[in-house]
Amino acid sequence: MARSNQQHGKHQDLIGTMRLSPKPFGSSTIHTLGDGQTHVQFVAEQSAYIHQIRIGGRDLLLNYASKAELQENTWYRNHALLPFPNRLLHGQYSWNEQQHFFGINDADSVSALHGFGITAPFKVDRFDLNKEAGKVKLVYLHRPTEHPKSYPFLVRFEVELAVNLDAQTVGWKMSAVNLGATPAPVGLGWHPYFSLSGGCDQWKVQMPPNERVELDNSMPTGRRLKGLSSKQASSIQADWDDCFALTDPENLDILLKGLAYSLSLKQLGSTRYTQIYVPGDKTAIAIEPMTCNVNAFNEAKGEVRLASQASISTGLLIGLV
């Protein structure tokens, strides 16, 4: 993948129909990778916020209409989740006999929610374009001095966005490499809000083989329950805020079925869990690939223990069916 030393204003050079083009989004810059019918839009410096995914002319995500709404950050729409997804009880964990503290931002569960939130300052690092396909790599190098009390680790986080105009797919993948000399805790996830035209009662979801993680006040009890069917689609429930452990690493594909169209969501990498959440207005569903369980920094350290120089990843490959 070719490295670019150009300024953002020069990223819009065309190679066939594929392009990477910027425009203002409040005080930030929103980039579009793709063409008018199929593309991904993103704001790198706000935890790699994905503003929109369009495939075949259909806009798929519920987003923030303005930079002000993005800063308000209702429901954490479409952000990369790092250095842990989901919740961390009391915002505390112990690592190498040291106590670390994130601020509590979810009062109901008395927990820290979604790690750094929208503050991880990713930057456009590389891009590669040809006539039918394009990729952009966003990078955030986290240094121990940035969050010395909550996360004093040297970890390189990357988000790769890929658009294939011929296949009509958009890919999102996040990875992390531990650049420190000792193991570090790392959990990754994504929080895309897929629009449900007509409301959630007109949509169904078909999961890969799974078990439901039993939760008590949003925290795991240690028990696993019967999950959603992998043989047929299940009706979407308006009160879902559930975590599912994936039981077959060779089958991680999700189908989101609507009346007008359906989405293929192929989970990638080290994805072990999927969180499904339906917000209060029932017009969207968050389908969140995660590398680790809820509260894993405390209760499942083996899932988040990343050795020196090792890497981990998660992602989704999205297409219409």
State which residues form the domain around 273: 8-320
The pLDDT tens digits of the residues spanning 235-259 come to: 999 999 999 999 999 999 999 999 9
For residue 137, being part of any structural domain is answered with yes
Task: State the greatest distance between any 2 C-alpha atoms of the chain, in Å, as a whole number.
Answer: 55
pLDDT for the residue numbered 240 = 97
Please state the domain count of the chain: 1
**3-class DSSP assignment, residue 124:** strand
For residue 70, being part of any structural domain is answered with yes
For residue 131, being part of any structural domain is answered with yes
Measured between alpha carbons, how far is 16 from 34 in angstroms, rounded to an integer? 10
pLDDT for the residue numbered 56 = 95
Contact 41, 32 (CB under 8 A): yes
Measured between alpha carbons, how far is 3 from 256 in angstroms, rounded to an integer? 36
For residue 292, being part of any structural domain is answered with yes
* Global pTM value: 0.94
Measured between alpha carbons, how far is 72 from 83 in angstroms, rounded to an integer? 21
The pLDDT tens digits of the residues spanning 127-154 come to: 999 999 999 999 999 999 999 999 999 9
Handedness of CA 210, 199, 280, 38 (dihedral sign): positive
Question: Residue 181 maps to which CATH number?
Answer: 2.70.98.10
For residue 87, being part of any structural domain is answered with yes
For residue 129, being part of any structural domain is answered with yes
Contact 271, 289 (CB under 8 A): yes
For residue 3, being part of any structural domain is answered with no
Low-confidence spans in the chain with pLDDT less than 50:
1-16
State both tokens at 34.
């793709």
For residue 1, being part of any structural domain is answered with no
